[in-house]
Structure 1
Amino acid sequence: MSLPDRFRDVAHLEDVMSQPSAALVADLRRAPGDLMVLGVGGKMGPTLARMARRADPSRRVIGVARFSQPGLRQELQAHGIECIEADLLSRDALAALPDAPNIVFMAGRKFGSTGSEWLTWAMNAHVPALVAERFARSRIVAFSTACVYPFVDTTGNGAPESLPPTAPSGEYANSCVARERLFEHFSHQFATPGRLLRLSYAIDMRYGVLHDVAQKVLRREPIDLAMGHANVIWQGDANDWALRSLAHCHMPTSPLNISGPKVAIRHVAQELGQRLGIAPVLQGQEAPTAWLVDCSEAFRLFGPPSVGLATMLDWTADWAARGGASLGKPTHYEARDGRY
C-alpha cells in the first residue's frame, strides 16, 4: 500500500484509513457471509465498516448504531453499508436485527464514566451479555482495551495475553474486565468462536495520543511525563487486524493484544516539537510502570504494522500545523487513576 506524505482533508484521511490490504482480502475469504458491525458510530467504526466493504464489495456489510451523529448514516450508505438504527440495550431491538455469521462488536462507554458509572457498566457488561446470547452462532470479534491489565514495568515488553486482567484501576477498567468475562462465559456455554481485541491507542489525525501531545505542544501547555510510555498503532492497521481476526477466532474466545511497539511520550513530544518548531514544555518524570502490551502474537498473525512511528509523527505534525479537524475527545492517556 502506498502511503501519502500528508492528508489533504478528512475525506482523504478516511479513504486511507479504510483501504484494505491484500492480506485482509485473503483472510476474509476464510470468514464468509454477512458482516455486522455493532456500534458502528464510534471513532473507528465508520472506517472499519468501509474497509470491510472495500475488501469484499459483494459482501453484505451492516452497521448498527443509534446514529446520533448528523449525516453519518447517509455517509455510510453512500459507501454501500446497510445501516440499522438500534439501541443495543434493548433485547427487542437486538432480536429484530438480521442474523450474521460475522460480528464485530465495537459498542462501549469510556469517557463520561465518572459520575454515571451505572451506564458504563450497562454498556460494557450488560450489552455484551445480550449480544453474546443473540449471536451465539456467529463469530464474534469484540473490541476490548489494554486497561484490563495492571500496570507493568516500562523496561519490559508489556503485558502478554497470558497475564490475568487483575486489579485494574477505576470503574471503567473493571467494567471492561466484566465485558470480556461475559463474552467468555457465553462462548463456553454456546461454543461461540471469537476474539477479544485488547486495543491500545489507535492513531487518527483527529484523535489519539499523538494528536493530544501535538495539541499541547502547539498551545505551549505542560506535558505530564508520569505516564511516560504507551503503545500506539495507525488506525488503518487496527481496522485491518480487527477484521482479519474474524479468520483467527478461537473457541472459547481468547484475548489478542492489538497495537504497535512501545513509544516514549518524551520522545514523541520532542519529535513533534522539532517538526512544529516549538520546544515542548515537559513536566515531571516517567513512572517505572505504565499500561503497556506485548503484541508479539498479533505480529506473528498479521506481520508488523504497515505505518511506523516516524510516519505517524510526520502526518500528525502536518495536520496539527494546518489546524486540521479534531474530534475534541482527549484520550486522557496520562491518567493513572483510571478516572475518565
Structure 2
Amino acid sequence: MNIRIGCLQGFCPDAHGGDSRSGSMRRAAAFPREFESAADLDEYLSRPSDALIACMRELDGDILVLGAGGKMGPTLARMAQRALDAAGRGGAAIAVARSPMPEREARGVQTVCCDLLDAGATRRLPRASNVVFMAGRKFGSTGSEPLTWAANAIVPYHVASTFADSRIAVFSTGCVYPLMSASSGGAAEGTPPGPIGEYAMSCLARERMFDYFSETQGERVVHIRLNYAVEPRYGVLVDVAQKVWKGEPIDLTTGYANAIWQGDACDWALRALSLAASPARRLNVAGPETISIRRAALQFGMLLGKAPRFAGSENGYAYLSDSRQAVGLFGPPAVSAGQMIDWIAAWIRRGGEILGKPTHYETQDGRF
C-alpha cells in the first residue's frame, strides 16, 4: 500500500526525501518558484534527468514517438531528443502526428505527418529500435464511440503489426482498473482490469492488441498506465484550481486523485523503454500521494484568495493507482503534489494559458 495517512488528507512536500535512485532530484533543485512564460515552462518540463540521460547511453537506436501532437507528446519528444543529445551517443527522436509540428522542428526534433488509422501510411513510417505509442482518443468519446474504438483498438493493431521488432512503451490509463477505495492505496499492476464504460474498454482493447503481438511474435512491450499527468495548463489539479478561481462548485463525489508532474511522467515513460518485455509488462505511472480534492481546493483558495465552493460529499472511491513498483525502479518523482499546487496557483494568478481540456476526473460512470 503506497498511501500515507498524512498524504491522504494533505500533501507531503518532503515525503520524497533525498533518494539517490532518482537523478531527477537534482533537476528539482533547479526549478524556479514559478514559470514566467510558456517557453520557460516547456523548457523545464522537457529537461531530462541525469538518470534518463544515463538510460539513453545504454539504449540503442532512435526513438519514434507516435501520437506526439497531444498534450504530453511535445514534452516527451523534446525530452527524448535532449536526453539523446546529452548522452552523446547520437540518435534521433522522431515525432509523428497527423498535423505538421513546426515548433518541434525548431527545437531539434524530427517530425513526420501520418494518419495512424491508415495502415499503409503506418507501414511507411521510419523504423526505430524504440517506439513510444501515445496515440488515442478520450475527450468526446460519448456520442462518437465508433471513432473511439477505431483510435484505441485499430490504430494499436496497425502499430503493433508494423513495429514487431521494436521496444514499445504504450501509453495506457488507470481507467482500465476498477474504481478503488481511497484507503486502498490504489490498484496495483496485478489488479484485474475492470473497465467502466466504452472509453475504458477501448483502452483495454489497445493493451490487448499489443499483448497479442507480444505473445505471438515476441514483441517487447511495456504498458504505461498513467494516472494523471499535470502541468500548469491542464490536469486534475488545474481543473480544481480553475473552479476555485471562477467560483464554480466543486463536486466532491470523486474526492481523491493521483497526480504526477508531466516532466516526471515523461521521464519515467522513456526510462521504461528498457523494461519492455515479452510477455508485455505493466507499469503504473502515477504520483505516490493520494490527493484529497477538498484539501487541494482549500489550498488553492488560500493561494488564489478565493473561497472554494463545494457540492456533495466524498463517496470514498476514485481511479487510484499504486505506483510503488515505478518508485522502486526509478526513485520518487522530483515534484510533489504540494509543489504542483504552488506552481499552478502562480500560473493562474499571472493569467497563464489554460488548454481548456478538463480531465473529467470526477467521472465514475465511464462517460467521458
TM bucket by the smaller chain?
over 0.9
> What SS class does the counterpart of residue 49 from structure 1 fall into?
helix
**Which ranges in structure 1 are unaligned for 5 or more consecutive residues?**
none
> What SS class does the counterpart of residue 194 from structure 1 fall into?
strand
Q: How many angstroms apart in 1 are the aligned matches of 2:141 and 2:118?
A: 20
Q: How many angstroms apart in 2 are the aligned matches of 1:267 and 1:30?
A: 42
Percent identity for Structure 1 against Structure 2: 53
Equivalence for 2:303: 275
> What SS class does the counterpart of residue 101 from structure 2 fall into?
helix
> What SS class does the counterpart of residue 29 from structure 1 fall into?
helix
Q: Residue 348 of structure 2 is aligned with which of 304, 312, 320? A: 320
Quote how far apart the aligned CAs of 1:100 are: 0.5
Equivalence for 2:264: 237
**Which ranges in structure 2 are unaligned for 5 or more consecutive residues?**
1-26
Equivalence for 2:149: 121
- Residue 231 of structure 2 contacts residue 340 of structure 2 at CA under 8 Å; is this kept in 1? no
Count, aligned residues? 335
| Structure number with higher relative contact order (C-alpha < 8 Å, ≥ 6 residues apart) | 2
Q: How many angstroms apart in 2 are the aligned matches of 1:277 and 1:138?
A: 51
Q: Deviations over 1:35-93 (max 9, x none)?
A: 100000000000100000000122211111111xxxx6111011111111110011110
Question: Are residue 42 (structure 1) and residue 70 (structure 2) matched?
Answer: yes
Q: How many angstroms apart in 1 are the aligned matches of 2:165 and 2:272?
A: 17
Question: Are residue 61 (structure 1) and residue 85 (structure 2) matched?
Answer: no
Equivalence for 2:165: 137
- Residue 28 of structure 1 contacts residue 247 of structure 1 at CA under 8 Å; is this kept in 2? no
Equivalence for 1:300: 328
Counterpart AA for 2:227: S
Question: Are residue 8 (structure 1) and residue 8 (structure 2) matched?
Answer: no
Q: How many angstroms apart in 1 are the aligned matches of 2:342 and 2:231?
A: 13
Q: How many angstroms apart in 1 are the aligned matches of 2:347 and 2:208?
A: 39
Counterpart AA for 1:131: V
Q: How many angstroms apart in 1 are the aligned matches of 2:44 and 2:337?
A: 17
Equivalence for 2:215: 188
- Residue 195 of structure 1 contacts residue 256 of structure 1 at CA under 8 Å; is this kept in 2? yes
Q: How many angstroms apart in 2 are the aligned matches of 1:55 and 1:311?
A: 24
Quote how far apart the aligned CAs of 1:15 are: 0.4
> What SS class does the counterpart of residue 99 from structure 1 fall into?
coil
| Matches for 1:158-173 after TM superposition, within 5 Å | 158-166=186-194, 168-173=195-200
Question: Are residue 334 (structure 1) and residue 355 (structure 2) matched?
Answer: no
Quote how far apart the aligned CAs of 1:314 are: 0.6
- Residue 228 of structure 1 contacts residue 266 of structure 1 at CA under 8 Å; is this kept in 2? yes
Question: Are residue 31 (structure 1) and residue 59 (structure 2) matched?
Answer: yes
Quote how far apart the aligned CAs of 1:29 are: 2.3
Q: How many angstroms apart in 2 are the aligned matches of 1:162 and 1:323?
A: 42
Counterpart AA for 1:177: L
Equivalence for 2:337: 309
Equivalence for 1:81: 109
For normalisation by structure 1, the TM-score amounts to: 0.97
Counterpart AA for 2:167: R
Equivalence for 1:99: 127
Counterpart AA for 1:61: A
Q: Residue 212 of structure 1 is aligned with which of 236, 239, 264? A: 239
RMSD between aligned alpha carbons? 0.9
For normalisation by structure 2, the TM-score amounts to: 0.90
Quote how far apart the aligned CAs of 1:189 are: 1.1
> What SS class does the counterpart of residue 313 from structure 2 fall into?
coil
Q: Deviations over 1:221-251 (max 9, x none)?
A: 1000000011000000001000000112221
Quote how far apart the aligned CAs of 1:30 are: 2.6
Question: Are residue 111 (structure 1) and residue 139 (structure 2) matched?
Answer: yes
Quote how far apart the aligned CAs of 1:194 are: 1.4
- Residue 28 of structure 1 contacts residue 246 of structure 1 at CA under 8 Å; is this kept in 2? no
> What SS class does the counterpart of residue 358 from structure 2 fall into?
coil
Counterpart AA for 2:236: V
Q: Residue 149 of structure 1 is aligned with which of 170, 177, 183? A: 177
> What SS class does the counterpart of residue 242 from structure 1 fall into?
helix
Q: Deviations over 1:270-300 (max 9, x none)?
A: 1111111111001111112211000000000
| Matches for 1:248-263 after TM superposition, within 5 Å | 248-260=275-287, 261-263=289-291
Quote how far apart the aligned CAs of 1:190 are: 1.1
> What SS class does the counterpart of residue 84 from structure 1 fall into?
strand
Q: Residue 178 of structure 1 is aligned with which of 201, 205, 212? A: 205
Q: How many angstroms apart in 2 are the aligned matches of 1:288 and 1:269?
A: 17
Counterpart AA for 2:84: D
Q: Deviations over 1:74-118 (max 9, x none)?
A: 110111111111100111101111110100000000001111100
